[in-house]
Chains A and B, each alone.
Chain A
Amino acid sequence: MSIPFTTQTINLLASILLLIAFAMLSQRRILSLINLFAWQGLVLSVSTFVVAYSTAQRHLYYSAALTLLLKVLVLPWLLHRLIRKLNVKWDVETLINIPATMLVGIALVIFAFNLAAPISQLSESITRGLIGIALASVLLSLLMMITRRKAISQVVAFLSLENGLFFAATSATQGMPLVVELGIALDVLVATFIFGIFFFQIRETFDSLDITHMEKLKDD
C-alpha cells in the first residue's frame, strides 16, 4: 500500500475534476458556471504539472503552462467579457429536474468506468484509472450540452468537454506530441472567438440567447 504521493495527488485532482463536472451540470448561474470552468482548467493545469514532475517530461511543463494560460486566464476572461457585453452576467437558467440529471450523470460515470475498465487494466503506469474519469467527464459535458438551453452554457459545456479530453491526453498517455497540443489549443481558441461572433449574431437575430428559438429546422 505504498502508492507514491504524486499518484495520490493526481487521483485526488481527477476526483475533483469529476466533482466539478457534476457541479457544472447542476449550476444555474451563468457567472458561476464560467468560474467553475476556470477552476476546472486550474485543476487540469495542476494535474498536468504533477504528471510532468513525476515523469520528468519537459513538454508536459509547456502543456501545463499552456493550459494555465488558455483555460484559466484567457478563455474565462473572454467569456466574462462576453457576458458583460451581452448583458447576461446575472442570468439564471431554469434547469428542470436536477436530481434526475444527476442520476443520469451517475449512470454515465458507471458506463464510462466500465468502458474504460479493460484499458485501465492494460496500463501499468502511475495513472491507471484516469482514462475512466476523463471519459466520464467528457460524457458529463455531453450531457450538459443536451440539458442546457442557453447558448453560452452550451459553449461552456463544449469547452469543458475539451478539458476532459485534455485530461485524458495528459494523464493517461502522458501528453500528446506538442505539435498536436498546440494545434488543439489553437482550434479551441479560434472556436471560442467564433462562438463569440455567433452570440452577437444570434442575439441580433433572435433578441435572446435562448436556443429554444432555434428549433425551427426540422423534417416534418
Chain B
Amino acid sequence: MIDLQLLVLLLTPLFGGGLLAVFGSRRWAAELNSLMSFCTFLAAVALTVRVIDFGPQVVFNEQFFIDQFNVFLVALTAFVAFTTSLFSRPYMRIEQHHGKLSTQMLHLYYSMYQLFTFTMLLALTANNMGIIWVAMEAATLTTVLLVSLYRTPASLEAAWKYFILCGVGIALALFGTILLYFAAERVLGEGGTALLWTHLNQVKGDLEPTVLKLAFVFLLVGYGTKIGLVPLHSWLPDAHAEGPTPVSAVLSGLLLNVALCAVMRSKVLVDGSLGTHFAGNLMMGFGLLSVVVAALFLSRQKDIKRMFAYSSIEHMGLITFAFGMGGPVATFAGMLHMTVHSLTKSAIFFAVGHAVQKSGTQVMENIRGMLQISPTVGWGLMLGTLAILGMPPFGVFASEFLIITTAMHDHPWATPILLIALGIAFAAIFGKVQPIVFGETTARPLPHPPALIPVFAHLLLVLILGLYMPPYLANWYRQAAALLG
C-alpha cells in the first residue's frame, strides 16, 4: 500500500513534467500544472497519514525510506508547490500580457516546475545517499533555466552564478558522499547497501570517525551552498531577485529545506560515529554566521526580492543553528521554524510578486502605497512581513522563542548575538516595508482585487501554528525530532 502511495507521489510530478513538456503551450497548461500539483499534494497527504499511523517504512528494495522527519517535509513541499502553482497561474499570465514572457518560455516553466517538484520529492524520500545527491543536482539543473527565464542580462548573470556556485558546491558534497561510502564499505562491505541511509544508521557507531568528520565537512559545505549558508550564499540573492517570483517562492520555501534535510541525514550518521558535538558545533557556527551577516546585509538592500532573499538566508541560518544545538526542544523548534518559514516566505513572495507587477519595478523606493492600490496585496505584504519578523501571535514567534530560550539555556553566549541580529533584521525590514504599504501614491487602484488566496491561506496556517498546536501535530514533530536526536 505504502509503495503504491510513494509511487503515485513520485510519478505524478514526473508524469506531469512529461505531459507539460508536450502540452505546455496550450491555454490550459497552467490549470494542468495546478492539477498535477494538487494530485501530488493528495498523494503526500495520504503518505503522511500512513507514516504517522505506522511509523518509518522502507520501500522498493530499500531504495526509499520514509520516516516522520522527511514525510513532514514531503507534506510541506507538496503543499507549497501546490499553492505556488495556484499563484503562478494568474501571475504568469499577467507577465505574458506585459510581454515579459513568451509562450515558449511558459512552456519551459511549466514542465520544469513539475520536474523540480519531482527532484525535490526524490531527494527527500531517497534512502540512498548517492541518489539524494543526484536528485539535488537535478534540482539545480531544473531551476537554472527558470532563473534565467526573462533572458535579461541580470537574470543570465544570476543563473550563471547559481549554476556554477551550486555546481561546485554540490560537487564537494559528492566528494563527501564518496568519503562516506569509503567509510561504509569497510563496515558494510561492497555493493549497493553501503550507501543506504537505513543501513548506515544501524552501523553508525562502527564507521571510522576521522573519515566521517572529513566527509561531513564536505557535505555541509556542499549542501550548505544550496541552503545558502554564509559565506557560500552569494548565488541566493541574485537568483531570487532575478528569477520569476513563483521560482523565488519555491527556491526559498522548498529547495533550501530539502538541502537542509540532506545535511541532517548526514549529521545523524556523524554524531553516531563521533560521539561528540563536532557536527552540531559546525552547524551552529555556520548558522550563527549566516544570521548575523544576513541581518547586516538586510539594511543595505534596495531591491525588495533581494531583501527577502537575505531574510531567507537569515532564517535558514537560524534553523541550522537550532538543528546544530540538537536536543528534542531545539530540533522541534527547528522543524517548526522550517514549516512556518516556508509558508510565510512563499506567502510574502506571492504578495511581493503582485506588488512588483503592479508598480513595474523591484526597487523599494519606487513602490509606494500598496494599501491604496490594492488593500489585499497591501495587507498580505504587511501581515506576511510581521509574521516573518516574528511578531506574536504568528508561528514564527513561537519557534524563534523556543530556539532562543534553548540557546539561553545551552549556549548563553549565542543569545545576545541572535537577539541583536534579529533586532537589526526587524528594523531593516519593517522600516522598508512600512512605507511600501502605507505610503502615499498617485497610482490608480487596481480595478479588481488580485487572487491572493494562497497568501492568506499560508498566513492563516502560520497564525494557527502560533496560537494553537494540535496535539497530533505536536506529537508528530516530537517523533521526528526524536529521530534526529
Chain A interface residues (CB < 8 Å from chain B): 57, 115, 118-119, 122-123, 131, 135, 138, 142, 145, 151, 154, 158, 161-162, 165, 168-169, 172-174, 176-177, 179-180, 183-184, 186-187, 190-191, 194-195, 197-198, 201-202, 205-206, 211, 213-217, 219-220
Which residues of B (135-180) have their CB < 8 Å from a CB of A?
A: 137-138, 141, 144-145, 148, 151-154, 156-161, 163-164, 167-168, 171-172, 174-175, 178-179
Q: B412 CB to closest chain A CB, in angstroms?
A: 32
Task: Give complex CA distance A184, B129 in Å.
Answer: 12
Are B134 and A180 in contact, CB atoms less than 8 angstroms apart? yes
Does B211 make an interface contact (CB < 8 A)?
A: yes
Are A173 and B182 in contact, CB atoms less than 8 angstroms apart? yes
Task: Tell which of B46-54, B189-197, B223-231, B315-323 binds the partner.
Answer: B189-197
Between A and B, 30 residue pairs with Cβ closer than 8 Å are A119-B179, A131-B182, A138-B171, A145-B164, A145-B168, A154-B164, A165-B178, A169-B178, A172-B178, A173-B185, A174-B185, A174-B190, A177-B128, A180-B131, A180-B133, A191-B141, A194-B144, A198-B148, A198-B159, A205-B152, A206-B153, A211-B160, A213-B153, A214-B160, A216-B157, A217-B161, A217-B242, A219-B237, A219-B301, A220-B300
Q: A180-B131, A187-B141 are in contact. Are A115 and B214 (CB under 8 A)?
A: yes
Interface centre among A151, A168, A173 (most CB of B within 10 A): A173
Chain B, residue nearest A201 (CB): B156
Interface centre among B148, B241, B297, B301 (most CB of A within 10 A): B148
Choose one: B186, B210, B297; the contact of A219 (CB below 8 Å): B297
Q: A128 CB to closest chain B CB, in angstroms?
A: 12
Chain A, residue nearest B145 (CB): A194
Question: Within 8 Å CB of B426, what residues of A?
Answer: none
Chain B, residue nearest A206 (CB): B153
Q: A200 CB to closest chain B CB, in angstroms?
A: 11
Are B171 and A217 in contact, CB atoms less than 8 angstroms apart? no
Question: Within 8 Å CB of B174, what residues of A?
Answer: 165, 184
Are B167 and A179 in contact, CB atoms less than 8 angstroms apart? no
Given contacts A158-B167, A213-B153, 6 further A-B contacts (CB under 8 A): A142-B168, A168-B175, A173-B178, A180-B134, A184-B133, A206-B153
What DSSP secondary structure best describes chain B's contact surface?
Answer: helix
Q: A204 CB to closest chain B CB, in angstroms?
A: 8
10 closest Cβ contacts across the A-B interface?
Answer: A180-B130, A183-B134, A214-B157, A187-B137, A177-B192, A173-B182, A118-B210, A217-B238, A169-B178, A168-B178
Choose one: A118, A165, A220; the contact of B171 (CB below 8 Å): A165
Are B210 and A122 in contact, CB atoms less than 8 angstroms apart? yes
Question: Within 8 Å CB of A184, what residues of B?
Answer: 130, 133-134, 137, 174
Question: Within 8 Å CB of B134, what residues of A?
Answer: 180, 183-184, 186-187
Are A177 and B175 in contact, CB atoms less than 8 angstroms apart? no
Question: Within 8 Å CB of A190, what residues of B?
Answer: 138, 141
Question: Within 8 Å CB of A186, what residues of B?
Answer: 134
Question: Within 8 Å CB of A177, what residues of B?
Answer: 128, 130, 191-192, 194-195
Question: Within 8 Å CB of B157, what residues of A?
Answer: 214-217
Does B181 make an interface contact (CB < 8 A)?
A: yes
Are B141 and A201 in contact, CB atoms less than 8 angstroms apart? no
Does B208 make an interface contact (CB < 8 A)?
A: yes
Interface centre among B63, B185, B194 (most CB of A within 10 A): B185
Q: B119 CB to closest chain A CB, in angstroms?
A: 10
Q: A99 CB to closest chain B CB, in angstroms?
A: 25
Chain A, residue nearest B152 (CB): A205
Chain B, residue nearest A193 (CB): B141
Question: Within 8 Å CB of B156, what residues of A?
Answer: 198, 201-202, 205-206, 214
Q: A119-B210, A194-B145 are in contact. Are A176 and B160 (CB under 8 A)?
A: no
Question: Within 8 Å CB of B172, what residues of A?
Answer: 138
Are B182 and A194 in contact, CB atoms less than 8 angstroms apart? no
Chain B, residue nearest A182 (CB): B134
Q: B49 CB to closest chain A CB, in angstroms?
A: 30
Question: Within 8 Å CB of A154, what residues of B?
Answer: 164
Q: A169 CB to closest chain B CB, in angstroms?
A: 5
Q: A33 CB to closest chain B CB, in angstroms?
A: 17
Interface centre among A187, A213, A214, A216 (most CB of B within 10 A): A187
